[in-house]
Amino acid sequence: MYSLVKALWSMYFEKPTLKVLIVGLNDSGKTVTFFIQKEINLSLLTQQIKNECKIKSYRIFQNNTNSWAEYRKNRISQYISIHNPKNGINFFFKAKHFALFWDLGGAQLLRSIWKKYYPDCHGIVFVVDQDYASKKEELIKTFESIINSPESQGVPILILINKIENQQDPNRPIVDEISTILSISLVHNRKIIVQCCSAINGINIDKSMEMLFEQIIRLSTQK
């Protein structure tokens, strides 16, 4: 009787902890993506930034959208750097899916520790800057090191193409572009999801993460 009750309790009330790694090259916006998952209320932070400005300065920002957007972006980045210093590893829980996120450092020397987390993770988020041209070869090499690592075999990957707010051409097929560069069609040993986002504005982050969670849960039920 006790075993039956325990089994039913586990089935209906206990949720598994989904362990997700957030990785990427330096300056890809990885830490901002990580911080947004902490469910920061960006509207309140924006209001706080407005309150810091003098009325005269704010009127200038109101008349110049680009200046205000740039100022807001810099202040949010500054806020994150103060409250979430890049010490290599950061983590937090996201209650909805009982997900544990690990933000791993993107510097070249720190990438060697990524593989130590692969065996225990259920999903990987690989953040890519949409303006990747100057780091194209490094990007390809880093992604290949992830998918070719024996420790990461079978682990689903979400590729988040970040900073789309900076795109010169809004019609640029960036998802197809990155998929081709990283040879996604040639990867057959796992599910790979490619999405674009704007971490600084919180655009398409939650939806993309939901897609990854659904894939992780789907795989777990097949085992």
Q: What is the mean pLDDT of residues 23-33?
A: 83
Higher pLDDT, 34 or 131: 131
Q: What integer pLDDT is reported at residue 128 of this predicted model?
A: 95
User: From residue 121, how far is each of 5, 13, 40, 154 by CA, in Å?
Assistant: 30, 22, 24, 11
Report how far residue 135's alpha carbon sits from residue 118's, in angstroms, rounded to the nearest whole number: 24
Residue carrying structure tokens 């993506």: 33
Report how far residue 110's alpha carbon sits from residue 89's, in angstroms, rounded to the nearest whole number: 10
Q: What integer pLDDT is reported at residue 50 of this predicted model?
A: 61
pLDDT > 90 fraction of the chain, expressed in percent and rounded: 32
User: From residue 12, how far is each of 6, 28, 127, 205, 221 by CA, in Å?
Assistant: 10, 39, 34, 28, 15
Report how far residue 205's alpha carbon sits from residue 32's, in angstroms, rounded to the nearest whole number: 11
Higher pLDDT, 32 or 23: 23
pLDDT band at residue 126 under the 50/70/90 scheme: very high
Q: What integer pLDDT is reported at residue 29 of this predicted model?
A: 81
Asked if residues 195 and 156 have their Cβ atoms less than 8 Å apart, the reply is: no
Q: What is the dihedral of CA 62, 64, 66, 68, to 10 degrees?
A: -30
pLDDT band at residue 124 under the 50/70/90 scheme: very high
Residue carrying structure tokens 């809004």: 170
Residue 66, pLDDT > 60, answer no
Report how far residue 154's alpha carbon sits from residue 187's, in angstroms, rounded to the nearest whole number: 11
Q: What is the DSSP letter of 82?
A: H
CATH class of 16-40+86-222: alpha beta
Residue 97, pLDDT > 80, answer no
Residue 211, pLDDT > 60, answer yes
Q: For all residues of the chain together, what is the average pLDDT?
A: 76
Q: Is the pTM of this model over 0.95?
A: no
Nearest to 154 by CA among 181, 182, 132, 122: 122
Higher pLDDT, 70 or 141: 141
Parallel, antiparallel, or unpaired for β 123-129 and 192-196? unpaired
Q: What integer pLDDT is reported at residue 181 of this predicted model?
A: 95
Report how far residue 116's alpha carbon sits from residue 94's, in angstroms, rounded to the nearest whole number: 22
pLDDT band at residue 219 under the 50/70/90 scheme: confident
Domain ranges across the chain: 16-40+86-222, 42-80
pLDDT band at residue 104 under the 50/70/90 scheme: confident
pLDDT digits (tens, 9 = 90+) for 151-190: 999 899 999 999 998 888 888 899 999 999 999 988 887 8
Tokens standing for 197? 């986002």
